Amino acid sequence: MSSKESKIKTVIREYLLDEGILRENIKDPRLEFGFKFEFPPGKDPSGRPIGKPFTVAKLKKKDRLDISINIGIDPKTVKMLESRKTELFNDLKKLFLSMHVMYSIDVNNNRYNLIDIIYLDNNNLISKNTFYKSVRILHDAAIHSFIIIGEYVKGEHDGLDFVFPDK
């Protein structure tokens, strides 16, 4: 890893540590580095973290960071959606496109992945504001998608459950 490459790793790690949201390193031979983190920071009244699990990674020989959140819909909700699943995923696609969020949807496994890419500057860096703006956009798209799914099953069950599968 060159000094430029290790500098961006250090900067991103510090951004995550400053907010208290870094959870673990991602070990993968395809990556220069990767981190799992939870956003937003904080806990609910019972002391559980309110953050959703995200990843940030820099692929080897690329001048960008990939930030993502993986979301799965729980089986109970999927059962209620079955007849309208295609319509739901089409509505989610429209949402993500309108928010300028890249996505991949796995209809068969009832999960989707939201992705943002940040290209690094000539010094191989990004500002803290740029990093967290990207994270907030993905977070907001995820929350909005939960609301849409909730509207699809409204009155059919009292609470939605989502799973956040590892890649």
Q: Taking 80 as the threshold, does the pLDDT of residue 165 lie above it?
A: no
Which of 20-24, 97-101, 138-142, 159-163 shows the lowest mean pLDDT across its residues? 159-163
Q: Which domain holds residue 90?
A: 3-163
Q: What is the pTM of this model?
A: 0.88
Exposure string of 4-36, with b = 16+ CB inside 10 Å and e = fewer, is: ebeebbebbbebbeebebbeeeeeeeebbbbbb
Q: What is the pLDDT of residue 159?
A: 55
Task: State how many domains the chain has.
Answer: 1
Distance in angstroms (rounded) separating the CA atoms of residues 55 and 141: 15
Task: Quote the percentage of the chain above a pLDDT of 70.
Answer: 89
List the CATH number of the domain containing 27: 3.30.1460.10
pLDDT in tens, 33-42: 999 999 999 9
pLDDT in tens, 145-158: 999 999 998 866 55
Q: Show contacts of 92-98: CB within 8 Å, 24+ apart.
A: 92/145, 92/148, 95/141, 95/144, 95/145, 95/148, 96/141, 96/145
Distance in angstroms (rounded) separating the CA atoms of residues 80 and 153: 7
Residue 49 — very low, low, confident or very high, per pLDDT cuts 50/70/90? confident
Distance in angstroms (rounded) separating the CA atoms of residues 48 and 141: 22
How does DSSP classify residue 21?
-
pLDDT in tens, 60-90: 999 999 999 999 999 999 999 888 999 999 9
Most confident of 28-32, 74-78, 122-126: 28-32
Closest C-alpha to 64, from 138, 134, 125: 125
